[in-house]
Amino acid sequence: MAESTIQDWTDSQVLLKFDNHRNVRYRVYRAADTVYQEIRDMDGSLLHILEIPEGVKLERPSYEVMLRYVLLDVLAA
């Protein structure tokens, strides 16, 4: 399965609840006909891979917003 990069690895400090934050890296890529946002800890360990619905085209600030909501959900689980 060939991958194409939409957004290369980006470092981000994500604000969580109560002034807490988490430093992560993420990238956005297409594999076949599906777009994914892959989120990793700064040490490289995988936190989550989010499948972005077909037809959703986002700008970089939108990926940052999705990143925050995914982290809030994943870390709460």
Give the tens place of pLDDT for each residue, 28-70.
Answer: 999 988 889 999 999 999 999 999 877 666 777 777 777 787 8
Express each pLDDT in 59-73 by its tens digit: 777 777 777 878 777
Give Cα separations from 6 to 19, 22, 59 (angstroms): 30, 23, 10
pLDDT of 9 over the 90 cut: yes
- What integer pLDDT is reported at residue 2 of this predicted model? 82
